[in-house]
Amino acid sequence: MDSVILPELPTYLFAPNVAGVLSLALTVLLPIAAAMVMRPDWSAGAKGVVLLVLAAVKAFAEAWLVAVDADVAFNATTAAYAVTVNFGIAVAMHFGLLRDTRLQQAALRGGLVRGDAAGGDVRAG
């Protein structure tokens, strides 16, 4: 296939094309997605693990799409590097622009995992 939709990893994160901008936008929104699946009272470590898992899923999915589109072998090492970059950007967004914003707080309050105020049990929302 001559035209590759997504450029090679990990440079796609900063590529000045539609795929690069979309990837960066998704990475910036990872803390909001993570907030949707965690409780506000979880420890920082647990929240970090959720964010890391989401960054890994995003990076490996993009790496797989690139490999399939370019008809090349999947490169796990490059994908792992992309996980690190995605996680770093997501953490920077969490502690930077998204910190204590209405969007972040709404995601935490209206997320998929909720705790019962009386019993403290966790259930899917």
Q: Tens digits of per-residue pLDDT, 19-68? A: 777 777 888 888 888 888 887 788 888 888 888 999 889 888 888 887 88
Beta-bridge partner residues of 114: 123
Domain count, the chain: 1
Buried b (16+ CB within 10 A) or exposed e, 72-97: eeeeeebbeebbebbbebbbebbeee
pTM of full prediction above 0.75: no
Alpha helices, H only, the chain: 18-28, 30-36, 44-70, 76-95, 102-109
**Higher pLDDT, residue 16 or 85:** 85
Q: Is residue 125 part of a domain?
A: no
Q: Is residue 124 part of a domain?
A: no
pLDDT at 120 over 50: no
Q: Is residue 3 part of a domain?
A: no
Q: Is residue 81 part of a domain?
A: yes
Q: Is residue 121 part of a domain?
A: no
Domain residue limits at 86: 11-113
Q: Is residue 21 part of a domain?
A: yes
